[in-house]
Amino acid sequence: MIEIEISAENTKDIIEQLQNNIGGEILERWGESTLVVDNDKAKGTVKVIPFDWGVNLMIYNIEFLSEVVMKIEATDFNPIRFIYNLQGEFLHRFGIQSKEVLIEQFQTLIFTNKTDGINCLHFKEGIKIETNIIQIVRKDFLKKRTTKVSTLNKKLQEVFVDTDHDNRFSHHGTLNLKMADHVKKLHNIKTKGMLRILKMEAKVYEILSLHIQQYNIQSQGVELPTSLVKSELKRVRKIGQQILKNPSKQYNLEDLSIESGLSQAKLQDGFKFLYTRTVTEFIRHVRLELARDLLKTSDLNISQVVYSIGFTSRSYFSKIFKDKYGVSPNEFSKQIPSKVLV
């Protein structure tokens, strides 16, 4: 086992001290710092992106080839960490504790520690992880004009205003598949320069709001739908991803039920929980979103768009498009001055 002790005064210090222990090269581009490792200790990347007002992002996309425990001293740099584990698993504990808590795939974790406390992250050998960590330095974040922590859940409000770091706090969230799509979109942003940073910052705040929303829901005792277990929800998400990738395919509930191995009732419950829509409503929503993008960015006419997304009736498409967006497809196309690829 490799133990890595980190005493950081900022996020950049973390990857520099990681580099000292596991090697690799740090690359700088567009304000991002990326540790790239490919050796006998680890393979992958650890990325740091700073934003304004004490908000920064770390993305671990790495496989440790030996068991690793990172012991991170809280020091004066002691942010609240909002973690989403997109792939793999790891363990967390505070230094004063002996029992570790397993953070599984699609699970969330929020924690902060007392000054001079130790935060332990335990990564297992040979398990690739993709983990998204939003870090908030409270004394800077609270200076932001739009920060209204008084509107938060009372406990979370206390955590945000604890700028002297007098208390430790942790919240091990339940399975959250809704957040996975947002985190994947954040990790897959391909634009460059300032546009990239602006897009990433907007997505970070959206994900942060989802963390807070989940914490509020769990604090009120709301759990996963009782008709479905975690493994079944993962199967529902897999079907949802399939529809997103290929919306034009002709789907029906019976075939999707057979493919997923779930009853039609469970499949519907899962879609309502993950996407707040029935299966049919979700398919229609995905197709309409794609149709709107095609009308904006492609040279296809309305009839071509209709058939390319899996509809067979232009009149039906026009009706549901207007119901959703408030204008007909023809009116929408006329509002676009030119077809600009984005």
Per-residue pLDDT at 224: 58
**Which range scores top for mean pLDDT: 177-181, 202-206, 221-225?**
202-206
* Domain 230-334 fold: Arc Repressor Mutant, subunit A (1.10.10)
Rounded CA separation 175/193 (Å): 34
Percent of the chain surpassing pLDDT 70 = 96
Q: Is 142 exposed, middle or buried (0-12, 13-18, 19+ CB in 10 A)?
A: middle
Per-residue pLDDT at 227: 66
Per-residue pLDDT at 30: 84
Per-residue pLDDT at 223: 61
| CA dihedral of 333, 336, 337, 342, whole degrees rounded to 10 | -130
Rounded CA separation 82/68 (Å): 21
Per-residue pLDDT at 226: 59
**pLDDT higher than 70, residue 118:** yes
Mean pLDDT for all residues in the chain? 90
**pLDDT higher than 50, residue 340:** no
C-alpha closest to that of 268 among 260, 276, 278, 259: 278
Instruction: Provide CATH 1.10.10.60 ranges for the chain.
Output: 230-334
Rounded CA separation 307/37 (Å): 46
> Could you tell me the CATH superfamily of domain 2-219?
Jelly Rolls (2.60.120.10)
| CA dihedral of 210, 100, 57, 89, whole degrees rounded to 10 | -80
**pLDDT higher than 80, residue 336:** no
Residue 293 CA neighbour count, 13 Å, CB half: 10
Per-residue pLDDT at 225: 61
Please state, as a whole number, how many other Cβ atoms lie within 10 Å of the Cβ of residue 126: 11
Per-residue pLDDT at 159: 92
Instruction: Provide CATH 2.60.120.10 ranges for the chain.
Output: 2-219
Rg over CA atoms, the chain: 23
Q: Which helix (H) or strand (E) holds 294?
A: helix 279-297
Q: What is the pLDDT of residues 126-172, one digit of tens each?
A: 999 999 999 999 999 999 888 888 888 888 999 999 988 989 999 99
The pLDDT confidence band at residue 181, using thresholds 50, 70 and 90, is: confident
Q: What is the pLDDT of residues 305-327, one digit of tens each?
A: 999 999 989 999 999 999 999 99
Cα dihedral sign, 276-277-283-289: negative
Rounded CA separation 70/187 (Å): 23
Q: Which two tokens mark 286?
A: 């995905």
Q: What is the DSSP string of 201-249?
A: HHHHHHHHHHHHHHHHHHHTT--S-TT--HHHHHHHHHHHHHHHH-TTS
Per-residue pLDDT at 284: 94
Per-residue pLDDT at 76: 83
Average pLDDT over residues 274-297: 91
Rounded CA separation 4/82 (Å): 21
Which one has a higher pLDDT value, 193 or 36?
A: 36
